Structure 1
């Protein structure tokens, strides 16, 4: 590829793109000067840079830099990255089972996925990743970070994280494994006509699986929908889940740069399967599709949302090919999600109706009844013990072989226990 061909390619790409009226009216001379500047910079780098670097490599770096400067979720996917993306969408890959995002420029854990190496090792939502093995994450892109954490099953990896409430960074060691995601399971709550629904991610069968569970539990009096540490997934599944509980109105809309790009998704009474009382559990690891579901049900006053403020990822990305064989692509933010009330999720998240922090239910008298995040934290020397406690606590909800949540289990999960109390009140009011 020479510089003349590069200029022609860029010009062709821009001429095929969608522009506003103001952009079309922009003098062609100005656009040509901008493209000429880009070509000159690339040519100068090719000629004078200290190392011998090929033109194609310069262009790839320029594309990566361009996409990275747009926002944290846009990126250039070269052939290797495009291939890895295709592997990931099949739902089975070697890695840690961790979803990450950029928050204030820092690589941040959105959530660990249930029953994965990251989940079992005690990785928590909100952890800021400082290093992956010995490589600093300063200036790293999301795609680069994901690629570093993936690898052959059973290989070792160490991540260094900063965690709220800890005085020093924590080193968390684990082994990569094949990540197989079970997105939906249900449990009965002991001595209650209530069904606990756990959705760990929104894959292509979530709506179908939830509908089946609802139909199998005709005698239930209410549902608890747990979306904690759910990083999101498919938009159509988020819409489908809301539609199971809402019979009319807008579920979510997405708006692009132009007004005509707005698209609304509405509920249908035909798809509604339950009008029973409903509470939804969320935390800072609930993102994207989870925020659409919880926020939409909240706007429709169809559910009480309980827990902690969600992550705040409300933008829409599309993978657009730049090669005919789709071997190279760009992932580009093209729109934002808006809830039925018109509020946006992006960078603001969903604030629960009832704020409840995680932890155990304290039954002791006096001040011991107060639950604080700090109460669950111990000195750094006790980190391994604490991780064991976290694994024990979270195993209650992740153990698929355990079909009933007992009263003892509820005491280990303050948020779930509070959800049950509120749901029981809704059931009484619904009589």
Structure 2
């Protein structure tokens, strides 16, 4: 039997509710009955569907050492004791968090509206910092500034490894009306602030998404010639066609030195990643082996022959460089083709599928469908040196990251 313990997400839940005195935002959700019995039935149905998908599709038949039947049995027993959706969804989420797998995650029934807190945060080294504050937000009113170090969210200490779980909680599982932060400013002075969130309507979200897509389509990369020998290009995403890479490399041309900035690049298409790698080697290069449940597949970057760039090459990464960006950077390191500078990357390189699922909610004759999602890992990547990047990330050859002061004046230390 698995020993009884307070799960991480319920610990977080208690910290937010008790210590921040913040209520959850009541924004539009799937309509239907909200009685405890209805919530439990729907939660158990979700749990059963997730278990079936994992048994059928999860890449590791050993489930990372987790006894699948026992773990889901324990979760089902806990759900029968819960009353609210927030408790039930947290219970389901914890089952998947136990896998310690960045790409396997429960997505609860969609709210029509989302929240934003008026600031962005990012790990730098082992600490986490405020990197941007939105003008006119309550965060700005409360004096939150770029360069502030985040010491805690609620009473939960924040570090690099914990941040993604906290973000998952406050944005997806249980959005907060008021978010409590413990910050440390540039002078080392600690303070506590309570930041009110803003509800973003479906219309606003659509506009924001269209704007991001338009910006990506118009300018998926940007190159700047530093001098006649050196050019620097920032590639914002690998979710572009190979022709975009060709266009960028044409701009790089015959410059003797090339800096490729992949900071903030969360990845994208494998085919684009392999295509870009082909510009840096005069022969085909084995990139990695993707190990799936019943099969494996080798990824190979095909050389572009006489189009290969032969100058000095540097790659910039940070903690938001993920997936394809990490694979690219690590291959450059392993093949000793260039140097990697910056902060340790995200360590999120698994291959996954998103599953649209649904559970029935409501009394007989008045049922409604409650769509929910499951991101499930179908493949684990083993690099050519036999090691994994998942969780570990790419360790730069020269670790460099912005200080709080650099963030406050928007200065790039690289």
Relative to the length of structure 1, the TM-score reads 0.57
Cα distance change, pair 350–9 in 1 and its aligned pair in 2 (3 A): closer
For 1:172 and 1:211, the matched residues in 2 are separated by 48
For 2:51 and 2:246, the matched residues in 1 are separated by 45
For 1:249 and 1:34, the matched residues in 2 are separated by 41
Contact 2:233–2:261 (Cα < 8 Å) also in 1: yes
Tell me, yes or no, if structure 1 residue 275 matches structure 2 residue 300. Answer: no
Q: Deviations over 1:155-207 (max 9, x none)?
A: x99965458994636879999894736541000013x22221112x3242275
* Superposition pairs of residues 356-375 of structure 1, within 5 angstroms: 357-358=400-401
User: In the alignment, what sits opposite 2:168?
Assistant: 143
Query: Structure 1: which 5+ residue stretches go unaligned?
Result: 24-29, 47-52, 88-92, 360-372, 378-385, 395-412, 416-431
Tell me, yes or no, if structure 1 residue 299 matches structure 2 residue 334. Answer: yes
For 1:206 and 1:166, the matched residues in 2 are separated by 46
Cα offset, 1:248, TM superposition: 0.7
Query: Structure 2: which 5+ residue stretches go unaligned?
Result: 1-36, 199-203, 360-368
Cα distance change, pair 186–308 in 1 and its aligned pair in 2 (3 A): same
For 1:163 and 1:314, the matched residues in 2 are separated by 33
Q: Residue 258 of structure 2 is aligned with which of 223, 237, 262?
A: 223
Aligned-pair RMSD on alpha carbons?
5.2
User: In the alignment, what sits opposite 1:240?
Assistant: 275
Report SS of the residue matched to 1:186: strand
User: In the alignment, what sits opposite 1:130?
Assistant: 152
For 1:331 and 1:357, the matched residues in 2 are separated by 33
Contact 1:206–1:241 (Cα < 8 Å) also in 2: no
Which one scores higher on RCO, CA 8 angstroms, separation ≥ 6?
Answer: 2
For 1:95 and 1:271, the matched residues in 2 are separated by 49
Report SS of the residue matched to 1:276: coil
User: In the alignment, what sits opposite 2:223?
Assistant: 186
User: In the alignment, what sits opposite 2:300?
Assistant: 266
Cα distance change, pair 116–208 in 1 and its aligned pair in 2 (3 A): farther
Contact 2:238–2:324 (Cα < 8 Å) also in 1: no
For 1:206 and 1:172, the matched residues in 2 are separated by 43
Q: Residue 99 of structure 2 is aligned with which of 65, 70, 81?
A: 70
Aligned residues: 332
Cα distance change, pair 336–11 in 1 and its aligned pair in 2 (3 A): closer
For 2:181 and 2:380, the matched residues in 1 are separated by 32
Cα offset, 1:298, TM superposition: 1.5
For 1:21 and 1:305, the matched residues in 2 are separated by 31
Cα distance change, pair 150–101 in 1 and its aligned pair in 2 (3 A): farther
Report SS of the residue matched to 1:198: strand
For 2:95 and 2:324, the matched residues in 1 are separated by 27
User: In the alignment, what sits opposite 1:328?
Assistant: 372
* Richer in helix (by share): 1
For 1:103 and 1:72, the matched residues in 2 are separated by 21
